[in-house]
Structure 1
Amino acid sequence: MPRPRESMDSHLLRMLQTLLTEQSVSRAAVRLGLSQPALSNALRKLRDLAGDPILVRSKNGMVPTERGLELLAHANDALAAIECITSPPRVFDPSTTRRVFHLGAPDYLDAMFLPNIAAILRHEAPGARFSIHTIHAEHDYIGALEDGSLDVVIGNWLQPPPQMHLSRLFDDEVVCMVGSQNPVAHRHLTLQQYLELPHLAPYPYVSERHSFIDGCLAAQGLQRNIQMTIPYFGQVAGMLLRTDLIFTTGRQFARHYAGYLPITLLPSPFRFPPMRFYLLWHRRTHGSAEAIWLRQCINRVAGMLQASQSASLQPSPPLP
């Protein structure tokens, strides 16, 4: 029956590396702070484990065998791996990183939120690459976070996915948008009028569920008259300028287009809760220095936009 082989621990692996590097038991003992007899015993054990002399005598001292040279390469690799595993995580420097970051978000955020994120990322990590993926009903963003295809996802949900880490980014007031040529642009809408008007609505980006707006209405037993749906938020303004449709959305999105197009904002006659946007990530990247930095950048942009919106809603000071 064969004798059981002894295991190779990191201490014995270090002795193997040092013996083969120094090619001398006495020099290796000094370098490791061990007695020469102790290292001689270790060499015998290593020879038994390897089934090879590892070091042999020559006229100029000891030299490694071919098997010994092969084992030295393996020992160097193994000790380097152990060092990586047992060392604290390296400090992440965004200015030198070449990493590719993947962010998922609905195109609702294209107008005001994502450009501000892009500005910070390009300034702080010019060598990094960023790929923005549009979230829609057919996109399995939870699976993408789990398998690493996405680093983070931004969105608004009535109930965020419970299996993900999340942080609140910002709240947005719900308002209505219409083209300024629309007959209702200068009217005060009642709830009944609001429900009966022809609505423009986006496809929900969570499959088989209500959108935020329709979910809030359904919770009160209400339903609006959706006459047209669109896949992209970038199509909203053009649709409103040429039709009598009404679009319900967040103030930030509406204000962006009303700033340079004949778009009118109307208060919603239904008391929607604020549209709450979240940042989602998977536990696999929770402690990653690179992912933490990305999440901090996104949270900084959210804070700036929230402060800007709060300032715009403050009443103007009285004239002197």
Structure 2
Amino acid sequence: MDTYLLRVLCTLVEERSVSRTAIRMNQSQPALSTALKRLRKLFGDPLLIREKNAMVPTERALQLVQDAQVALNALDKMLSADEVFDPLRSERTYTIAMPDYLAPPFLADLVRRFRQSAPRSKLVTLPLGSEYDYEKALAEGQVDLVIGNWPTPPEHLHMAVLLEDEVVCLMARDHPLGKAGKLTAQSYINASHLVPLPYSSSQRGVVESTLATLRLSRSKQVSCPYFTLAPYLVGESDLILTTARHFAAYYARRLPLVIKPSPFDFPLMRFYALWHPNKHRSKAHAWLRGLLSDSAGVLKTVSGSA
């Protein structure tokens, strides 16, 4: 049992819908269905029963929700000590673990806001890697926030979506496919691709997952450990980089590159911030999350100006 399951239980009984609960808790519907299965097994009760177009809580569920709410309120009170926080006077150090697949204006805007609001505090950014245990780092307080875009983030962590962006193809302006008009599925598969190394060893990205469901694979001719280096390599070669529109748009305005719509119906890339429940009620942490949310608006502007 953990606080995540208790919150799922309370929200499910209140919303009486897995889909609405998923939206309210910023979780995927499959993740909520899995949590409901765990709750049913844990308490030996169906908890919610489908009747027509609604889910009706059992008597056991209604009893459990009362106790769960008491427990959650007590935990929230413990975690929300009367913290006095003034960013102008604070001398805290904040640590964010993040990859480099967000366009540079995001971090630049975050640093600007941070320096203006908290001139005495320090901001540390750490790189992510496939072997980096970010869940442990969050739980132990080594980092305050992690920025990610894995299709299925850990369900026990809090999440705030920074940007949802379409997947596009970036290539050199003189690339043969760049001059050929619309990019087709066959030409995409037959082309040579630059694929940045994954930031998670346990999860596939949106592109690889979608192609796998279609039983397709692309030719990964070059791998690169840095996203910010990838556009420069693409601009000097016959390679294609499949990435988010905001990232492609930023570099297409600065390098001899062209953006082509993807020939496949890839899901939107979702970029989000993750944090541990032990920091959720912290006023200083909430302030930092607010800065990230404000800076995310820059990414939307970059994406929309392509």
Question: Normalising by the residue count of structure 2, what TM-score does the alignment of the two structures yield?
Answer: 0.70
Structure with more contact order per residue of length (Cα contacts < 8 Å, sep ≥ 6): 2
Q: Shift of residue 209 of structure 1? A: 2.8
What is residue 169 of structure 1 aligned with on the other side?
A: 162
Residue 239 of structure 1 deviates from its aligned partner by 0.8
Output the aligned Cα RMSD: 1.8
Inter-partner Cα distance in structure 2 for 1:90 and 1:162 = 27
Contact 2:172–2:256, Cα closer than 8 Å, also in 1: yes
Contact 1:105 1:155 in 2 (8 A): yes
Specify the SS of the correspondent of 1:112: helix
* TM-score (ref. length: structure 1): 0.68
Aligned twin of 1:126: 119
- Structure-2 separation of matches of 1:199 and 1:308: 24
Matched residue SS, 2:101: helix
SS in 2 for 1:120: helix
Contact persistence 2:246–2:302 (CA under 8 A): no
The Cα of 1:228 is off from its aligned counterpart by 1.0
* CA offset digits 1:5-55 (Å, max 9, x no partner): xxxxxxxxxxxxxxxxxxxxxxxxxxxxxxxxxxxxxxxxxxxxxxxxxxx
Q: How many residues align?
A: 227
Q: Distance in 1 between matches of 2:203 and 2:131?
A: 12
Any unmatched runs of 5+ in structure 2? 1-77
Partner of 2:100: 107
1:261 corresponds to which residue? 255
Is 1:211 the equivalent of 2:205?
yes
1:224 match: 218
Q: Is the 8 A contact 1:158 1:215 kept in 2?
A: no
What's the counterpart of residue 137 of structure 1? 130
Q: Which moved more, 1:106-115 or 1:169-178?
A: 106-115
- Is contact 1:112–1:252 with CA below 8 Å preserved after alignment? no
**SS of 1:144 mapped into structure 2:** helix
Which residue identity lines up with residue 218 of structure 2 in the other structure? R
Shift of 1:223: 1.4
Do 1:177 and 1:266's aligned partners in 2 also have CA atoms closer than 8 Å? yes
Tell me the distance in 2 between the aligned counterparts of 1:253 and 1:304.
12
Runs of 4+ in 1 over 4 A off after TM superposition: none
Which of 265, 272, 285 is matched with 2:266 structurally?
Answer: 272
% identical equivalent positions: 39
Give me the whole-angstrom Cα distance separating, in 2, the residues matched to 1:235 and 1:211.
Answer: 19
Change over 3 Å in CA distance of 1:101–1:110 after alignment to 2: farther
SS at match of 1:273: coil
The structure having more radius of gyration, on CA atoms, is: 1
Cα deviation, 1:79-110, whole Å, max 9, x if unaligned, reads xxxxxx9x951331111111000001111125
Superposed, 1:1-320 pairs within 5 Å as 89-109=82-102, 111-187=104-180, 188-306=182-300, 309-310=303-304, 312=305
Classify the secondary structure of the residue corresponding to 1:205: coil
Unaligned runs of at least 5 residues, structure 1 = 1-84, 314-320
CA separation in 1, counterparts of 2:275 and 2:208? 26
